Amino acid sequence: MGPGWSQYGGMDLAELRPDLPPPLAEDLDIIAEMTADFARSRNIEETLRRGLGRICASVGAEAASLFLTDGETGELVCRACCGPVDVTGLRLPRGRGIVWRAVAANAAQLVRDTRHDPDFAATVDDTTGFVTRSILCAPLSVRDERLGAIELFNKRDGGAFGDGDRRLVQALAASAALALINARLAAAMAEQEAFRRELALAADIPRAMLPGVLPDSFPIHGVNLPARGVSGDFFDVVARPDGRIAFALGDVAGKGINAALLMAKTASLFRCLAKRMDRPGAVLAAIDAELAETGASGLFVTMVAGVLDPAAGQVVLANAGHEPPLLVSPGAVRPVDGGLPPLGVVPELFTAGCPDSTVSLDGGCLYLFTDGLSEARDGDGPMLGAAGVAALLERFAALPARRRLEAVVAALPGGGALRDDVTLMAVEDRR
């Protein structure tokens, strides 16, 4: 016997428990050693193959096969075997057969003479030339969860399998089933951990693309609040050499890593183009052309881009399928409508460029926001809507811009349980 859990201070169970009959002590040693192998294994199928060989040797069988259920087809598939014939990959459709009988009954099947068993199918024998005289089959199951079965063929001494063999194989099958469940749980946990790391990396993409904290004296501020860790919203602010300030706010349709990557691409394109193109409409048209050529199917971007002239208190604004910005002046709220459909949908509409318009701030503030703000709601209550957004903005109008935006987001209905990403920008007239 090789070293395993059965050994204590260099003694195996036969030495530790001399009162046990030798065959029983040897059987317990095999069970303990296989359990230890399963617990240590990182390659469960290789361990099952080794365990199957050990079971063959212990029971004195000529051959053995291990079948596992295919979760997609429902068939039993041979995943390991030992003996003179390799039947790895053999599939057994649901139905008759001794293996399926063991799985269906969730009980070991002892067939001392296959000639007298109506469920015995000689198809494999006819194909391989192997002669099956007797069969011992035990299900791989834990409670009602049935994973497959172990099947042993023929005693080497020419006899038939007995009740002692059945008890041993049942115990070994139970140990193997537990090992399989543990291995699958470990694999699922590893997959979840890998997904969690991937999600964390994806969440870093939008955060890295956002501008840092701007000084309170700066005329443009923004806030981004992701709903589920990975945000498809973005905003950016780019100081131009001529003293004007380019800005943009966008929302990628979709969630997850693909949306985050498209967001990063769009934000990068804006940062590059906004430094050398004077008109925001031209910037959006150039981004649309790039997204139409290389964008992912089914994803598109709604986006507002603008250029602020701080000295004149004017904004040149272009809109591609986004929520109309709100111009909030003392005693008045006006939506700034107009524009084209979202980026990456109908490139033909952008061939002549995206129209832009000039908006005079007149001492007021221009607000850009994603639909996560206007569609915020408390439970099944009504959405906030443009009127609700305007009311919140006026409610906190006395606060400095950055604190104002934070206060608006904190006051959204739903108690902080966001249904969608929320991004909000303020472009002020600081003259």
How does pLDDT run across 249-295, given as a tens digit for each residue? 999 886 666 777 788 888 889 999 998 899 999 999 999 988 887 76
d(CA 9, CA 144): 38
d(CA 31, CA 173): 10
Please, which pLDDT band fits residue 347 given cuts at 50, 70 and 90?
confident
pLDDT at 299 over 70: yes
Please, which pLDDT band fits residue 238 given cuts at 50, 70 and 90?
very high
Q: Are 425 and 303 contacting, i.e. CB atoms less than 8 angstroms apart?
A: no
pLDDT at 339 over 50: yes
Query: Positive or negative, the Cα torsion across 347, 321, 211, 226?
Result: negative
pLDDT given at position 24: 45
pLDDT given at position 414: 65
Tracing tokens 């131009």 back to the chain, one arrives at 240
**311: three-class secondary structure by DSSP:** coil
**218: three-class secondary structure by DSSP:** coil
pLDDT given at position 22: 43
116's tokens = 């007298």
Average pLDDT over residues 129-141: 92
Q: Are 199 and 229 contacting, i.e. CB atoms less than 8 angstroms apart?
A: yes
Closest CA to 138 of 108, 168, 167: 108
Average pLDDT over residues 79-92: 89
17's tokens = 């428990």
Q: Are 230 and 259 contacting, i.e. CB atoms less than 8 angstroms apart?
A: yes
Among 18-27, 54-63, 336-345, the range scoring the smallest mean pLDDT is 18-27
pLDDT given at position 274: 92
pTM of the model: 0.56
- Residue 391, amino acid: A
Closest CA to 318 of 335, 339, 334: 339
Please, which pLDDT band fits residue 13 given cuts at 50, 70 and 90?
very low
Residue range 28-52, pLDDT digits in tens? 566 566 656 655 555 666 777 777 8
H/E stretch holding 291? helix 280-294
Phi and psi angles of residue 162, each rounded to the nearest 5 degrees, phi first: -120, -175
Phi and psi angles of residue 28, each rounded to the nearest 5 degrees, phi first: -65, -35
More confident residue, 419 or 29: 419
98's tokens = 């001794």
**287: three-class secondary structure by DSSP:** helix
In terms of Cβ atoms closer than 10 Å to its own Cβ (0-12, 13-18, 19+), residue 199 is: middle
Q: Are 234 and 210 contacting, i.e. CB atoms less than 8 angstroms apart?
A: yes
Provide, rounded to the nearest whole percent, the portion of the chain with pLDDT above 70: 81
The DSSP symbol for 340 reads B
All domains of the chain, ordered by start, with CATH?
A: 41-188 (3.30.450.40), 211-428 (3.60.40.10)
More confident residue, 1 or 34: 34
Query: Who contacts 17 (Cβ-Cβ below 8 Å, separation ≥6)?
Result: 25
pLDDT at 17 over 50: no
Closest CA to 6 of 45, 56, 54, 62: 54
pLDDT given at position 7: 40
Q: How far is CA 177 from the centre of its chain?
A: 27
pLDDT at 14 over 60: no
Mean pLDDT for all residues in the chain: 82
Among 124-128, 201-205, 353-357, 411-415, the range scoring the smallest mean pLDDT is 201-205
Residue range 358-384, pLDDT digits in tens? 999 999 999 999 988 888 876 677 888
Among 71-85, 99-113, 148-162, 191-205, the range scoring the smallest mean pLDDT is 191-205
pLDDT given at position 229: 59
Strand locations in 226-344, DSSP E? Answer: 233-239, 245-252, 301-309, 314-320, 326-329, 332-335
